[in-house]
Amino acid sequence: MEQLFNDIQQQIATKMGDTITLIDEDCGQLEALANGEDQYPVTFPCVLIGIPETIWETMKSGIQHGKTTLTVRLAFDCYDDTHYGSSQEQHAAERMALAGRLNSYLHCWRFDECATVLIRRTSRQFSQPGGIKVYEMEYTTTVADEIQNNES
């Protein structure tokens, strides 16, 4: 899993490093920020990557395939007044376009550790206190793992 995480970070950094200020593991930074908790500093726009679940199936002795779920959250600190007629309406469209661009670099991409390509399963947008806008995408892929028996 660590290789998959590192590969996704590298893909995003290579394709979007000029636009994204932070690419990191999702450790609840946005929730901590919303709750006013001490936390690791977050800069915006950021991409936070989580691998919340893998469902494993044993193929044969020592070999397992796992259906893995990944979440990718693109977050912005929004201070723009984007209501119609504000002359800043384009900022909302620019955020949506960046979320689309991020998806284009991940959807149907096959990373080294994956047996299948990443497939976007869901996407959603939501706001958090403090003017934080989040574009969240969930992907699935299949990974293979060979378990080494450590019996002495």
pLDDT in tens, 69-114: 999 999 999 876 655 665 667 888 899 999 999 999 999 999 988 9
pLDDT over 70 at 52, yes or no:
yes
Strand 63-77 to 22-25 pairing: unpaired
Q: Which amino acid is at 77?
A: D
Residue 95 lies in a domain: yes
Domain limits at 102? 1-48+73-138
The answer to whether position 112 is within a domain reads yes
Neighbour tally for 48: CB within 10 Å: 21
22 part of a folded domain: yes
CATH number, position 131: 3.30.2000
d(CA 55, CA 88): 44
**152 falls in which pLDDT band (50, 70, 90)?**
very low
Q: Establish if 68 belongs to a structural domain.
A: no
Residue 150, pLDDT > 60, answer no
pTM score of the predicted model: 0.88
Sign (positive or negative) of CA dihedral 36, 139, 17, 14:
positive
Give the Cβ contact number of residue 52 at 10 Å: 10
The answer to whether the Cα torsion of 79, 81, 83, 88 is positive or negative is negative
Across 53-80, average pLDDT? 92
Answer whether residue 67 is part of any domain.
Answer: no
Q: Does 59 map to a domain?
A: no
Rounded Cα distance between 106 and 80, Å, is 28
Q: Total domain count for the chain? A: 1
The answer to whether residue 61 is domain-embedded is no
Is residue 58 included in any domain, yes or no? Answer: no
End-to-end CA distance of the chain: 26
